[in-house]
Structure 1
Amino acid sequence: TPAGVWVGASVHEVGQVVAAGGLISPEALDVAVVAKLGRVVLLAPLIAVVGALEARRAARLSGQAGDGGTSRRSGFARNRGSAPLVPWFVIGFVVSVLLRTLTEGSVPGTFFEWGSAVASFLLTMAMFAMGAAVDLRRLARGGGRALALGAVAAVVSALVSLLGVLVLVR
């Protein structure tokens, strides 16, 4: 459904996509989740391209000649002392998707239920840790600009994805 595509393309968090898509209809939920996961999977090549371009730009600006610090051993470019070209969480996500796809039907469903429970627990702990690290005084002093930027980014994302749905989805 077009509504499912829009939800999957514009909502930022997978859990929120599930909630929003489920409010529309079961069909919209299925489409929204597929659209969101497709968007997440496409982050890996996008991050690699942006990382390679940034590594090349940084090497050029620092006057370094050569390959921008590409490690022949790992195949992942990095600036010395900086993050890897493709973040490990993206690699982990792609590997997880591949493992789940390749083991579908050959691994008991309880294994995936257990894995889902562990993932939910770890996500809850990560969200708690991020929230606990928020300095409320600092947020009150400088948070207005950050909130405004987030609001503008959310509106632009929603409008661009809506335009894409209106043009591409029938």
Structure 2
Amino acid sequence: MGSQTARILPQDGQNEQPLKKPETKPSAYLWLGGIAFTIVIAVFGFALAKVPGFDRVGPLACAIVIAVMYRQFFGYPEKIRAGIQFSSKRFLRFAIILYGLKLNIDVVIHQGLGLIARDIGVIAFAILLTVWLGKLLKAESSLVLLLGVGTGVCGAAAIAAVSPILKAKDEDTAIGVGIIALVGTIFSITYTILRPFLPLSAIDYGIWSGISLHEIAHVALAGAPAGPDGLAIALLAKLGRVLLLVPLCFILMYWMKRRSSGSAGDTKIEFPWFLIGFILMSLFGSYILGHSIPVSKAAMDGISTATTFILTSAMVGLGLNVSLRDLRTKAARPLIAMLITSIILSVVSYFIA
């Protein structure tokens, strides 16, 4: 009798399937290696942002560019994926919480209530116009909405805050941050060039910068030529928009719930608990830090730098998900929509400043 290959027969009613290796969780070393990887790229991003030219773009965009280029040349580092994903998700939320220290609620309420009305109009105008233009251009709707929020509120921080609520892809979040950094930098430099030729007082120019530019860094860059008073009012106008990020997030969460309940397969919207942390840190920074607890300007600057570094590390994880092959076809139309919105927003806000 010839030799036969022995095999285990399946029981009745079961299909014969090849044995699968049990999935193993990544080791702590690989997990820590992924976090360390994002931190190293963030360091390179900060270093690149010191180079003339790149200093106008900022460390977030620089780190994303490095991460994107790494992905294209070396591929995604799969072995340390768990640590990278931890950075892109947890670091992101932690950075948004710390970002609350930048918002002095007391100053905004007592000195900037008149500006908040204009800030509300700017946010609504930027989001609605960007989304409408995106539909006309048949652009990626998720990316367009992120860019509308970033344009209307506070750039990369706003995109990072709303992306979990909107369930945006990591790729869309990274692309949105990169576009915001690029366009915002171009606009802020243009403002500084136009400043000597505009018939605006320092205060009016500061208000115009604060209600129309994308990020706090962009407002600071553009507002500096207006002197200390112009810069102060510019930052105050911008902080009003940052304050409005909180109610906007809850509005978007309600909208997502309504939209998911009307579609097949009800989708659960995770409550953005990090926003509670953002609010608490804002209250702490506004009424306790510097009052009951003395703190130096150098210490606050250090906290601000640490916040930016943590957010930059998170952006590395997002940037690794970007494929340049898809970027050309995916980002062009949202970029056009956001660029048109930014131009119209600058013109309209010039006349209401």
TM above 0.5: yes
For residues 70-149 of structure 1, the aligned pairs below 5 Å read 80-84=267-271, 87-103=272-288, 104-110=290-296, 111-149=299-337
Provide Cα deviations, 1:88-135, integer angstroms capped at 9, x if missing partner.
Answer: 444333222111012122223255344223213213323444444432
User: Hey, what does 1:22 align to over in structure 2?
Assistant: 224
Provide Cα deviations, 1:31-59, integer angstroms capped at 9, x if missing partner.
Answer: 11111111110122233234324434543
Q: Distance in 2 between matches of 1:24 and 1:132?
A: 39
Q: Percent same amino acid among aligned pairs?
A: 33
Query: Quick check: 1:48 aligned with 2:250?
Result: yes
Q: Deviation at 1:30?
A: 0.6
Q: Deviation at 1:10?
A: 0.9
Alignment check: 8 A CA contact 1:22 1:29 kept: yes
Q: Would the alpha carbon gap of residues 163 and 44 (structure 1) be closer, same or farther in structure 2, given more than 3 Å must change?
A: farther
Structure 2 unmatched ranges of 5 or more = 1-202
Q: Who wins on radius of gyration, i.e. which is larger?
A: 2
Query: Quick check: 1:6 aligned with 2:208?
Result: yes
Higher relative contact order (CA 8 A, sep 6+): 2
TM-score (norm. length: structure 2): 0.37
User: Hey, what does 1:72 align to over in structure 2?
Assistant: none
Task: Supply the AA of the counterpart residue of 2:287.
Answer: L
Alignment check: 8 A CA contact 2:260 2:267 kept: no
Number of residue-to-residue matches in the alignment: 148
Task: Supply the AA of the counterpart residue of 2:294.
Answer: P
Q: Distance in 2 between matches of 1:150 and 1:6?
A: 19
Q: Deviation at 1:148?
A: 0.9
Q: Deviation at 1:7?
A: 0.9
**Residue 249 of structure 2: SS of its match in structure 1?**
helix
Q: Distance in 2 between matches of 1:57 and 1:133?
A: 27
Provide Cα deviations, 1:113-160, integer angstroms capped at 9, x if missing partner.
Answer: 442232132133234444444322211233321221221232233234
Structure 1 unmatched ranges of 5 or more = 64-78, 166-170
Alignment check: 8 A CA contact 1:14 1:33 kept: yes
User: Hey, what does 1:33 align to over in structure 2?
Assistant: 235
